[in-house]
Chains A and B, each alone.
Chain A
Amino acid sequence: MKGILRTPIAEDEVRALKAGDVIYVSGLLFTARDEAHKVLLERGEPFPLEGLALFHCGPVVRKRGDGWEVIAAGPTTSMRMESLEPEFLRRFKPRVIVGKGGMGEETLAALSEVGAVYCHFTGGAGALAAQRIKGVREVHHLEELGIPEAVWVFEVERFGPLVVAMDAHGRSLYAEVGAAVETNLEKVLARTKEG
């Protein structure tokens, strides 16, 4: 399936998605890296996050007049947030997580429990991401956390392509590719020995 999800995204919309689907998100996307996860879990959400898209990203931004211009905003490695994400999902219920590299088993379980998906956005595609960001609505904890770690709230239009890599039914493309890679590795190394 290929589709555009508009925030706030409903639980049944993400439960309908399957690993391997390619989607786009329009509406509100907020960033949170390690530090922001900790701060939001400690002090609560600055505005309702339910149904929004959470982006693991430390953007390059530039001040323009009273506002901000997003220069580049690709995803960061999601695994760093693994210890914080299950609780974050349960408490704030973002429906789509956007990042790169995938997450662990506890997050995969939380996705099923809460009703959310983890999507892979092409790592390093910071210019493409910035082009789909139409504006910065708000920024939180900027002074305390600095530009890359702050919570940026972006208005996005057709943000993607996003590959649904971990769905709400316990399926993870990363786990599947990982298993295939293990098998292939054994074959490749066996061939080398014989040669």
Chain B
Amino acid sequence: MREGEDFLPITHHLLHVTEMKNELIEGLKEALRRAATVLPADVVRALEAARDREEGPARVQLEAILENVALAREKGVPICQDTGTQTFFVRVGTKFPYLDELREAIPEAVRRATEEVPLRPNTVHPFTRKNPGDNTGRFIPYITWELVPGDSAEIHLLPKGGGSENCCKLVLLTPAKGIPGVKRAVVEHIAACRGLPCPPTVVGVGIGGGADLSLKLGKLALLRPVGTRHPEPEVAALEEELAGMINALGVGPMGLGGKTTVLAVHIEYAHRHPASFPLGIVVQCWADRRAHVLISPKGEISVTGDA
């Protein structure tokens, strides 16, 4: 195969590309493993702080949660049996050299992680009820692509459990209701959810945009570490106010009563149509699992748990 010089660069390139795809699959698989088995440090700190201020059944729940988190980490097993719907937010540079490989690597990494971590097969056909068993399917894994200037790629992983996803809600407020309407709708909804989303939760609130964008913003708000605030003071103040209001409800860990119903409320917003005021409420269970991947233009991959 080495007779013609012409072959060389092509062969070399193909080999490189195949290797790169495999590297990406392995890197993303490790990120999926990390997200499923190691709870980010910011969430652990928030849970520990909650345990310290609770007593009775609430404290029993938080102690069990923290024992569970430590066990999962030590044994390298999933924190929760619902390993979620595999969700990726990709910010990719317009000059990133491995776009094709990355596109193919994501579902393949999900298949491998399902087998090796293992993840629970969580993709069911809505009509036939068939489950392919590998966590892939139509539109799943769910990938959001964002093009940015540059030559690297950044990926946030958010495996999202079904119990908390069932507590997400879209509210189409009238503009006259404004921010007070947001407060009422969010607090009433989290009160109505009680223990279903496995509190203490992290609530992502998306304000503005269209109906779909408000829910998307709510989900994007979850990527921010617990303990951080929105950079704009007005938004940050509302985050704190909402968390205070919700924690005054007394739903408590697992809905058994207590002071901690949310670990944090995160808000993102978009401009809205003059006639609309969409509000997307996205609820994330205490197992606020995330991982973060950076891929350099040279193909170096780094995986961390913190967003």
Contacts and interface: CB of A to CB of B under 8 A. Distances in A.
Contacts, number: 156
A67 interface: no
B198 A100 contact: yes
Interface string B248-287: 1111101111000000000000000000000000000111
Contact of B81 (A73, A163, A176, A189): A73
Interface in A111-129: 120, 122-129
B257 A173 contact: yes
Given A20-B57, A127-B72, A72 B77 contact: yes
B188 interface: yes
A131 B249 contact: no
Most B-side CB within 10 Å, residue of A58, A72, A120, A174: A72
A57 B250 contact: no
Given A123-B163, A124-B68, A163 B250 contact: no
Given A177-B251, A189-B187, A126 B81 contact: yes
Given A124-B161, A177-B255, A60 B119 contact: yes
Interface residues of A, number: 48
A107 to B, nearest CB: 15
B60 interface: yes
Contact of A123 (B69, B180, B198): B198
A28 to B, nearest CB: 19
B210 interface: no
Contacts of A174: 194-195, 255-256
A122 B254 contact: yes
A74 B81 contact: yes
A76 B63 CA distance: 19
B78 A147 contact: no
A177 B58 CA distance: 12
Interface in A90-137: 100-102, 120, 122-131
A86 interface: no
A49 interface: no
Interface stretch (A9-17, A39-47, A179-187): A179-187
Given A57-B81, A146-B131, A185-B188, 16 more contacts: A20-B57, A62-B118, A100-B195, A101-B195, A101-B196, A125-B64, A125-B65, A126-B79, A127-B69, A127-B78, A128-B71, A146-B121, A174-B256, A185-B187, A188-B248, A189-B184
14 contacts: A20-B57, A22-B60, A57-B81, A60-B118, A74-B81, A101-B254, A122-B254, A124-B65, A124-B82, A126-B80, A131-B71, A161-B63, A161-B64, A185-B188
Interface of B: 56-57, 60-61, 63-65, 67-69, 71-72, 75, 77-83, 118-121, 131, 161, 163, 166, 180, 183-184, 187-188, 191, 194-196, 198, 245, 248-252, 254-257, 285-287
Interface of A: 20, 22, 57-60, 62, 71-74, 76-77, 79, 100-102, 120, 122-131, 146-148, 161, 163, 165, 173-174, 176-178, 180-182, 184-185, 187-189, 192
The 4 nearest A-B residue pairs measured at CB: A126-B81, A128-B68, A125-B68, A127-B72
